[in-house]
Structure 1
């Protein structure tokens, strides 16, 4: 059982710029000891690595994402090339020159390894390193710092197959240790205090031997195929109807919404905010109408369906939510 944990903010660090030696800056400002864990905000890692790009934030998000998980209005939750699912692909425009956007490190685990090795070489100290970023969480208000990179620290503890104090076998218990470290360190860093680094003392049992960097924070990323909630509800509806993953939905009701759904024997017309579906087979008309209604609902529109005479139906489109 761990007896105590101490968390120290590292104060006095200067503004970090591209090419700066983070190991030197942190090592001079922090009292580092063997077995400590160093928590470093990804923003200063990105700045040191020159991850500042020009253009708009939307352009930066487009360049960093691999898929859209959910979108509402101007907000996009996306999966990045790192496998992370987060708002705006982790891009940041605060405390950067106008017209520029700060991106996440290219490989946060590699960044953590490089910092750990540099600290050991310069100061002969064996520490674990966790690179953190702020993420929201499904079903919970507020944000919390999580680990996006790690080196020399155990990132997850697998307790499956062990028993609790009552003799019950644990089936799914896997504490995300690196995320817990990141969240604890944020308590002393703070968003507005300009303290991007913290030292955690009392976790020596989680720090790996020198030269052993461990699995890294990539081990905490759940593959989309294993995620029961890999898409937002609207995006899941689009994917189910259109047979492709999370397509970007149109901003207005237009024929692009049903492109690919209409065949030679079915016709769709948009008239005065209502959508008419026509064809020779009432069953096929009904199936297409139902699919269009699902898509419109997924896009946030209020819809009502009315069956007309013969093989036709009308979808009345109401106002669109965010």
Structure 2
């Protein structure tokens, strides 16, 4: 690990240096009014000769002649503008949707069509054998089921459990941290702590894998769900706190004072007054943390080695290491299954996402 660790730590130092420069440029500075010009003293009082001499003199500028251009009628120009925008929207939609549509199509394509030379865009038939291979590997499989296909159901369960636990922990910690940073942003300690918290997001994930692996090997957390949860929470909690800080900044402090005057404790004030107000932000942060942990690959690849803790991205990558040609179909089917939960989560909670993005956390 010597040379690799040295390279990773050099990259970490470079990343921290760039992050410090970046934050130093973005840090707000208190503007100062310019010093008065000593030459403009009492002699340049309004209405005096010195004041008249100091004033700039206006002159008329001569503009170049403008060539008349032929313009379309207003209805034609509006139709052309709408047509151009519609064409751009269609191109962007096709650019984004074609890979997903191709993935769905290949997941229902027979194995013989996937290895055909030259390849054909139109399959000879549609089959659900690929999904049966990964979901029910022991029931009516046409081919001998591979070890990798049998790992898909457990990998989906691992990804869901890890993502749900990470979302709950990160949102719980990020909500309290975001409230503290929002209400004490002007204090020097909290301001420096916030920038230090964001500085951790500038660390390349590759530089953290080796320290996590060495520490986990000594603690016995290699190849465990708890190890993945701790690793994901360590670099998702700062971003959750930053997101919740932006929502709490939109909540007036009068709500805090009113709740405290009514006899609420700090914890009851958070639970009964503030959390219902910032609910869209909580849901948005939870969805983000869930999706980030669901799609994470590097830490799951290094910190897990057996099916009991491997997540779905690691299992899908394992299909590529097998030399059996008929495993392309199950790989595409597993890929489709891996994108369905994030899509469903975003679909059912889109109301909270849109409400949080447009109206923030202020009510009334």
State the TM-score, normalized to the length of structure 2: 0.22
Larger helix proportion of the pair: 2
Greater relative contact order (Cα < 8 A, sep 6+)? 2
Larger strand proportion of the pair: 1
State the TM-score, normalized to the length of structure 1: 0.24
